[in-house]
C-alpha cells in the first residue's frame, strides 16, 4: 500500500487508482473516517477513465496516529506535500464534511494552480459554530457532548452516529443499512482517539469564510436539505453565495451522507461537472 513520509516523519496513506494518464480527481474524507468512505465515487470515476486519488488524513485510517498537528493548517500542508509528490495538476478536488473544509482551506491557503474545479459535499464551511455573527450555527454545547461521549464510550458513540443522524437512518421509513453502519464504525475506530477528539474542535470552530471568498475556480456545492449533522442553512446555502463561481444543488430529503446514500445521483453530478 502506498505511503508518503511527510516532512515531520508522519506517514500518509493514499490510494491512487484508475488511468495513470487520466485527468485527476482528489477526494478528502469526513470525520472520523478514511478514504474508504469515497470508494463508490472513486471506482465509478476510475471506470470512466479518470485517475482518482484519496488519502487518509493524518491520525485517521492507515496514516500515522499523530499526537500533535491534528488541525486544518497541518492537514492542508500535508495535502500540498502529497500533491507535489504525485504531480497533481489540472485536477478537480472533492471533499465531504470535514474534508470539504480541508478542500476549502487548501484552496484558500495554497491557491488553485493545481485545480480547475472543486466540489463540496455536505461540507462544514463557512462555519459550523454558532456565534453572534453566525446565528444559524450549532451551539458549542453540542460539540462538547461529542467530546464527552468520546471519553465515556467512544465505541458506542461511533455506533450511535451512523445508526442515526449521519445517514438519516433515524428518519421514519428510512431503509437502514447495517453494512453502512459497520463500515462507518470500523473507519472511526481505526482513527486515533487523539486525532478524532482534536478534530471536533477543528471542524466545528474553523472559520472558512475568507477562504471561500478567495477561491477563483468553479465550485459545485452538493447538500441534502435534511442534513442533521451540517444543516444546509448554516453551510451549503451560505457557501454557494460566498463563492465567486459557486453552483448549488440541493438534494431533497438528502442526509449528511448523500454520497453514500444517493450514490448514482452524486456520481452523475460529479461526472457532469467534470465534463462541463
List active site positions. Answer: 97, 227, 256
131 to 48, 205, 234: CA distances (angstroms): 44, 10, 11
Helix intervals (H) in the chain: 39-47, 72-86, 98-110, 140-163, 178-190, 193-205, 209-214, 236-242, 258-261, 263-275
> What secondary structure letter does DSSP report for 23?
P
- How many alpha carbons lie under 13 Å from residue 270 in its C-beta half-sphere? 32
Q: What is the CA angle 37-197-106, rounded to 5? A: 60
Max CA separation in the chain (angstroms): 49
> What secondary structure letter does DSSP report for 251?
E
Question: Under DSSP, is residue 262 helix (H, G, I), strand (E, B) or coil?
Answer: coil
Strand-pair partners of 52: 17, 25
Q: What is the CA angle 28-59-210, rounded to 5? A: 50
Cell of 141: 454545547
The strand pair at 115-121 and 91-96 is best described as: parallel
Secondary structure percentages of the chain, helix, strand, coil, to 5: 45, 20, 40
Strand-pair partners of 158: none
Amino acid at each position: 500500500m502506498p505511503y508518503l513520509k511527510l516532512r515531520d516523519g508522519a506517514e500518509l496513506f493514499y490510494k491512487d487508482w484508475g488511468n495513470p494518464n487520466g485527468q485527476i480527481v482528489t477526494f478528502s474524507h469526513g470525520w472520523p473516517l478514511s478514504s474508504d468512505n469515497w470508494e463508490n465515487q472513486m471506482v465509478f470515476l476510475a471506470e470512466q477513465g479518470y485517475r482518482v486519488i484519496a488519502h487518509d488524513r493524518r491520525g485517521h485510517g492507515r496514516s500515522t496516529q499523530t499526537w500533535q498537528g491534528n488541525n486544518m493548517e497541518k492537514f492542508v500542508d500535508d495535502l500540498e506535500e502529497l500533491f507535489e509528490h504525485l504531480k497533481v495538476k489540472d485536477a478537480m478536488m472533492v471533499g465531504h464534511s470535514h474534508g470539504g473544509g480541508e478542500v476549502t482551506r487548501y484552496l484558500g491557503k495554497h491557491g488553485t494552480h493545481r485545480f480547475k474545479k472543486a466540489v463540496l459535499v455536505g461540507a462544514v464551511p463557512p462555519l459550523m459554530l454558532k456565534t453572534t455573527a453566525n446565528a444559524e450555527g450549532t451551539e458549542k454545547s453540542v460539540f462538547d457532548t461529542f467530546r464527552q461521549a468520546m471519553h465515556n464510550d467512544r465505541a458506542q458513540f461511533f455506533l450511535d452516529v451512523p445508526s442515526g443522524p449521519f445517514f438519516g437512518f433515524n428518519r421514519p421509513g428510512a431503509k437502514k443499512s447495517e453494512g453502512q453502519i459497520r463500515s462507518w464504525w470500523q473507519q472511526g475506530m481505526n482513527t486515533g482517539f487523539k486525532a478524532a477528539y482534536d478534530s471536533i474542535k477543528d471542524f466545528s470552530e474553523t472559520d472558512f469564510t475568507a477562504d471561500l471568498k478567495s477561491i477563483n475556480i468553479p465550485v459545485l456545492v452538493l447538500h441534502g436539505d435534511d442534513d442533521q449533522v451540517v444543516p444546509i442553512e448554516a453551510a451549503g446555502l451560505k457557501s454557494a453565495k460566498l463563492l465567486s463561481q459557486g453552483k448549488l444543488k440541493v438534494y431533497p430529503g438528502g442526509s449528511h451522507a448523500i454520497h453514500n446514500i444517493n450514490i448514482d445521483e452524486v456520481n452523475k453530478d460529479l461526472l457532469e461537472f467534470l465534463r462541463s
